[in-house]
Amino acid sequence: MRFFWIFGLICCVLANGLTTIADLDRMKHDLSRFLSISRYNETEKSVARAAIKRALEAVGLASMTHTFIHEESNEIGANVIAVQKGPYFGTGNDKMMVLSANYDTLEGNQGVDDNGSGVAAVLEAARVLSTLDNLYSRQNTIVYVFFDMKHKALAGSHAFVEDVLLPLMERTNTKVIGSVIADGLLHFDPFPASQAMPPEFESFFPEAAQSLHEHSHMGDFIQVSSRSDIDDYLIHSRLRSFMSDALVRLGIPSMVLESSDEHWEHYDFRPSDIILLGLILKNQKDEF
């Protein structure tokens, strides 16, 4: 397997007057309320699930709770799923996009950044995309998933793919063109020496490490990772859209890691829920 790594330092600021249809106040409200409490035990997680379902219902999206059993502990987990159907839903002409985030936390962790930020972002994406349905004709289906048990061997991601997504794809011949996982989006620290990296980072990504060093190790950057060949269409289309914005001027150098075999023990460099897209592609013959 090959990885295509993009490391971009946010050294520019959006020009004055940039507007967005994203509601920052709404996201702040969610983060300060149900996404600022621990979501480790079932009582705590049930509160979060109810709030997620209410937020989805408020934008016209019905949701379902997908329950599963964690094999090692026999605990019952619960994902929240909402489907924004396109005109070809349930047919071979549909090309689904999955937007997801885990909502559970480690014990004692309030989880605002990990991963309340991802949940808030996906909920806001659902609101924006539902609003845009009133203005534009959308051709394909969007699936919103909020995973449980990320911190227990990614059990929620596995269960969603195996119990829900793959059976749907096999039954309808629907294709999945991409999966976007929102995880830990909130952290931003523009102060020097605020961003540490594992010792191996410099040997794997010397150019990125040099850029980080020249930028005084500030924690104000974005790193996007994708797999060469497999994810090229998805990542390049997103980058083209992002870079075409006349208000954004970022220099994004790219680095290629030809093989991950010898680096497998450094699994933490990979986004944890990428297992979702990996499992989809493993079971899907057609590459997008």
What is the number of residues in the chain?
Answer: 288
Give residue 110's pLDDT: 82
| CB-based contact 117:161 (threshold 8 Å) | no
Residues 14 and 145 in one domain: no
How many domains would you assign to the chain? 2
Residues 226 and 280 in one domain: no
Q: Domain for residue 26, yes or no?
A: no
List helix spans (H) across the chain. 24-32, 42-58, 117-132, 155-159, 166-172, 201-204, 206-214, 232-243, 275-282
- Closest C-alpha to 98, from 277, 225, 228, 230: 277
- Closest C-alpha to 280, from 227, 239, 216: 227
Residues 75 and 150 in one domain: yes
Residues 215 and 168 in one domain: no
Q: Which single residue is written with the structure tokens 């079932």?
A: 42
Give residue 149's pLDDT: 95
- Closest C-alpha to 180, from 126, 243, 251: 126
Q: Domain for residue 145, yes or no?
A: yes
pLDDT digits (tens, 9 = 90+) for 167-216: 999 999 999 988 889 988 877 788 999 888 888 888 877 888 898 899 89
Residues 63 and 103 in one domain: yes
The angle at the Cα of 8, spanning 184 to 145, to the nearest 5 degrees, equals 30
Residues 41 and 127 in one domain: yes
Q: Domain for residue 156, yes or no?
A: yes
Q: Domain for residue 147, yes or no?
A: yes
**pTM for this model (two decimals):** 0.73
Q: Could you list the residue range(s) of the whole structural domain that residue 246 is in? A: 1-21+187-270
How does strand 175-181 pair with strand 95-102? parallel
Give residue 98's pLDDT: 97
Residues 154 and 90 in one domain: yes
Residues 134 and 208 in one domain: no
Residues 112 and 239 in one domain: no
Residues 46 and 166 in one domain: yes
| CB-based contact 6:224 (threshold 8 Å) | yes
Q: Domain for residue 27, yes or no?
A: no
Q: Domain for residue 226, yes or no?
A: yes
Q: Which single residue is written with the structure tokens 């051709």?
A: 139
Distance CA(73)–CA(149), nearest Å, equals 11
Q: At 175, which CATH number?
A: 3.40.630.10
Q: Domain for residue 230, yes or no?
A: yes
| CB-based contact 123:55 (threshold 8 Å) | yes
- Closest C-alpha to 174, from 87, 56, 81: 87
| CB-based contact 83:89 (threshold 8 Å) | yes
| CB-based contact 55:103 (threshold 8 Å) | no
Which residues in the chain land under pLDDT 70?
1-20, 222-226, 238, 241-288
Distance CA(148)–CA(76), nearest Å, equals 10
Residues 219 and 259 in one domain: yes
Q: Which single residue is written with the structure tokens 């190790």?
A: 217
Give residue 249's pLDDT: 52
Q: Domain for residue 28, yes or no?
A: no
First and final C-alpha spacing in the chain: 16
Residue 228 makes CB contacts below 8 A (sequence gap 6+) with 2, 3, 4, 256
> Quick one: CA torsion of 233, 173, 139, 248, rounded to 10 degrees?
-20
Question: 21-28 contacts: CB < 8 A, separation 24 or more?
Answer: 21/128, 21/131, 22/124, 22/128, 23/124, 23/127, 26/124, 26/127, 27/120, 27/121, 27/123, 27/124
| CB-based contact 60:126 (threshold 8 Å) | no
Residues 55 and 126 in one domain: yes
Q: Residues 179, 123, 94, 131: is their CA dihedral positive or negative?
A: negative
